[in-house]
Amino acid sequence: MACPPTHRWARHRARQLRREMTDCEQQLWACLRAKRLDGWKFRRQAPVGRYIADFVCFQARLIVELDGAHHHDQQEHDASRDAWLRSQGFEILRVWNSQWLSQREAVLGLIWAALRERSPLP
C-alpha cells in the first residue's frame, strides 16, 4: 500500500532537513542522540503527521523545537501547528537558539524535567 502524498513529502523533507541541520541543532542532537539524556530515545527532524518536529521523543510524546529568528515572523503558523500537535497528545517545548547558545545546561534541564513530567517513575 502506497503512502499518502503528504507522508511522502514529509519523509522527503525530513531527510533533507537532517542533512541541513543548523549548528545549534547539531549541538543539541549531540546531547540527545543515542539515548544520552537519561536513556530517553529521541529522533531528529521526524515527521509527525504533516509536520516535521526538530526533535521528538515518541515514548514521552515530547517535541523539542529549536527556533531561530525566522520564527518571529511565523508565530501564527507555529501556534496552529502546536495546537494540532497538542491535540495528538504531544507537549511542545520551544527553545530559542540564543537560549541554547548561552544556557545549554539549563535547556537540557528543561528537557529532562519535561520528560520526567510526561513519564513519571512508577
CATH number at residue 26: 3.40.960.10
Provide the edge-to-edge strand list for the sheet that holds 51-57: 43-48, 51-57, 62-67, 91-96
Contact status, residue 54 vs residue 65, Cβ threshold 8 Å: yes
How many separate domains does the chain show?
A: 1
Number of continuous H segments (helices) and E segments (strands) in the chain:
5, 4
Q: What is the mean pLDDT of residues 75-82?
A: 87
pTM of the prediction?
0.86
Q: What is the mean pLDDT of residues 47-63?
A: 95
Predicted confidence band of residue 1 (pLDDT cuts 50, 70, 90): very low
Which stretches does DSSP call E strand in the chain? Answer: 43-48, 51-57, 62-67, 91-96
Task: Please give the residue range of the domain that contains residue 66.
Answer: 5-118
Predicted confidence band of residue 6 (pLDDT cuts 50, 70, 90): low
**Residue written as grid cell 508565530:** 75
**Residue written as grid cell 502506497:** 2
